[in-house]
Amino acid sequence: MKFYSEKLSPRRLSLQWRLTLLISGLVITACALMYFFISRSAVTGLEGISDYVVLVTPDNSNPISINVDPKILIPDLENQIQNTKNNFLFQSMIATGIIILLSSICTWFVTRRALAPLRRFSDRISQVQAQNLSEPLEVPLSEDEISRLTRSFNDMLARLDNAFSAQKQFVASAAHELRTPLAVM
């Protein structure tokens, strides 16, 4: 039983889209965790503003501590703290969303650039025909997966060319051998 549509199947998505979605998922997870922990610590810090301790140190004497209730100094402190928390949560949610969007777009372009050698390799492979099996593909100078894949493909082309040559030689020999008895008959 299939739980997803054939059109949305991961097999139908290009490698570029699969990488983009995978990396975007990781970015979303990281941003969500950062948002949660940073906003929780900021909100907790704002809620911790209940009493101020003011240290007064006159010259050359012992410090004097004075506890000050901020609600006396600022009567609307609770509303201001709540508004500040709400603004912070909203702004950090917007910033997280923008970061996720921009990083997903950048990921798409980066994967496009990273997969360009693979697209070029695919284009060159599609031009291979039975007539040009003896022409190997140019191996990129980089020592990466694409160059190793190109070497392997060239080795396969050489084996195919040898097999085609052996088949042509066999067909020519068989035709020659059959011509002689047919000519006698």
Cα 64 to Cα 157: distance, rounded to the nearest angstrom: 89
135 occurs within a structural domain: no
**Do 97 and 149 lie in a common domain?**
no
Query: Tens digits of per-residue pLDDT, 101-128?
Result: 999 999 999 999 988 888 888 888 888 8
Number of structural domains found in the chain: 2
119 occurs within a structural domain: no
Q: Which domain holds residue 162?
A: 140-185
Helices (H) and strands (E) in the chain, counts: 5, 2
Cα 46 to Cα 73: distance, rounded to the nearest angstrom: 17
Confidence of residue 9 (pLDDT cuts 50, 70, 90): low
76 occurs within a structural domain: yes
Q: Residue 1: is its pLDDT beyond 50?
A: no
Q: What is the pTM of this model?
A: 0.59
**Do 19 and 95 lie in a common domain?**
yes
86 occurs within a structural domain: yes
Cα 93 to Cα 34: distance, rounded to the nearest angstrom: 11
**Do 34 and 71 lie in a common domain?**
yes
